[in-house]
């Protein structure tokens, strides 16, 4: 059996190997037909599923929790990328790991303490770990901790709701992170990703692009994914 740390390394290497990649956010999927939705996404060549967890406190919206992650883990071998938009990630991260998460990001805005111990605890348990940052938050708050991250999630909309317009400040942040921390750092972007924004996002360094409406508002997921992938540009 592999050691926990080596499982995290394997996940990181896998994510590096598929970049750039579209990660469908299941926030808009049909949860009454979850297996069918996952089957359709697998048929469209999806590599990773993105799960937006909101607690109704850190953000003014409430979504799903550990049971959905556990249910997905039972029906798919796809990687599960969990985005915690919650006030106390330290309290709940272990439970999402137990439920089957492969990577976990939480917000630099969640709490005022050092996120390093949480990042390390997640990594030690075999899960890739990272920080997310909202558009209105100064990068100076994030930068001291980037070297502790496997990935950084740059929000191109304020966390909390799907369907918001893309904020171009995210592009400069991607470029800044790529230039400063090099090619090994995985860069993820979430919010307003569609055929118009995929090209600029990948050109500025995005590896993992979270898409909700651009996938789930389309009748054919295969066609939706193909249209998005056509817009990939290398930085």
Domain ranges of the chain: 4-229
* Torsion region of 79: left, alpha or beta (phi above 0 gives left; psi -120 to 50 gives alpha): beta
Q: Which of 47, 52, 81, 150 is catalytic?
A: 52
- CATH number of this structure's domain 4-229: 3.20.20.70
What pLDDT shows up at residue 132? 98
What is the DSSP-derived secondary structure letter of residue 104? E
Per residue of the chain (235 residues), give pLDDT as tens: 346 678 999 999 999 999 999 999 999 999 999 999 999 999 999 999 999 999 888 887 778 889 999 999 999 999 999 999 999 999 999 999 999 999 999 999 997 789 999 999 999 999 999 999 999 999 999 999 999 999 999 999 998 766 678 999 999 999 999 999 999 999 999 999 999 999 999 999 999 999 999 999 999 999 999 999 999 987 5
Any catalytic annotation for residue 190?
yes
pLDDT at residue number 58: 82
With b for 16 or more beta-carbon neighbours within 10 A and e for fewer, the 199-229 pattern comes to ebbbbbbbbbbbbbbbbbeeeebeebbebbe
86 and 54 in contact (C-beta within 8 Å)?
yes
* 124 tagged catalytic: no
pLDDT at 56 (0 to 100): 84
- What whole-number distance in Å separates Cα of residue 215 and Cα of residue 50? 12
Measured distance CA(172)–CA(82) in Å, rounded: 24
Q: Report the half-sphere exposure of 234 (CA within 13 A, side-chain side).
A: 1
Question: Which pLDDT score, from 0 to 100, does residue 129 have?
Answer: 98
Choice among 55, 102, 150, 190 that is catalytic: 190
- In this prediction, residue 3 carries a pLDDT of 62
pLDDT value of position 217: 94
Q: Which two tokens stand for residue 135?
A: 């558009």
Say what the pLDDT of residue 1 is.
37
What secondary structure does DSSP assign to 138-179, as a single string?
-HHHHGGGGGG-SEEEEESS-TT-SSPPP-THHHHHHHHHHH
CB 43 within 8 A of CB 230: no
- Per DSSP, what are the bridge partners of residue 104? 82, 129
- pLDDT the model gives residue 140: 97
Strand 48-54 and strand 186-190: the pairing is: unpaired
């Amino acid at each position: 059996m592999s050691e926990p740390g080596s499982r995290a390394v394997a996940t990181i290497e896998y994510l590096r190997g598929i970049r750039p990649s579209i990660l469908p956010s299941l926030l808009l999927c049909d949860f009454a037909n979850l297996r069918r939705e996952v089957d359709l996404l697998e048929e469209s060549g999806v590599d990773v599923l993105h799960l937006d967890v909101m607690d109704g406190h850190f953000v003014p919206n409430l979504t799903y929790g550990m049971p959905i992650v556990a249910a997905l883990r039972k029906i798919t071998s796809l990687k599960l990328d969990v985005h915690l938009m919650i006030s106390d990630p330290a309290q709940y991260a272990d439970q999402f790991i137990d439920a089957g998460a492969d990577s976990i990001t939480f917000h630099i805005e969640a709490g005022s303490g050092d996120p390093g111990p949480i990042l390390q605890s997640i990594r030690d348990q075999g899960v890739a770990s990272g920080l997310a940052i909202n558009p209105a938050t100064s990068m100076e708050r994030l930068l001291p901790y980037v070297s502790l991250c496997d990935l950084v999630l740059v929000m191109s909309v304020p966390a909390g709701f799907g369907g918001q317009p893309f904020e171009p400040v995210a592009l400069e942040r991607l470029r800044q992170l790529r230039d400063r921390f090099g090619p090994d750092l995985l860069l993820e972007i979430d919010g307003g990703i569609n055929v118009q924004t995929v090209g600029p996002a990948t050109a500025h360094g995005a590896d993992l692009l979270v898409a909700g409406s651009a996938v789930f508002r389309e009748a054919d997921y295969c066609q939706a994914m193909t249209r998005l992938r056509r817009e990939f540009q290398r930085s």
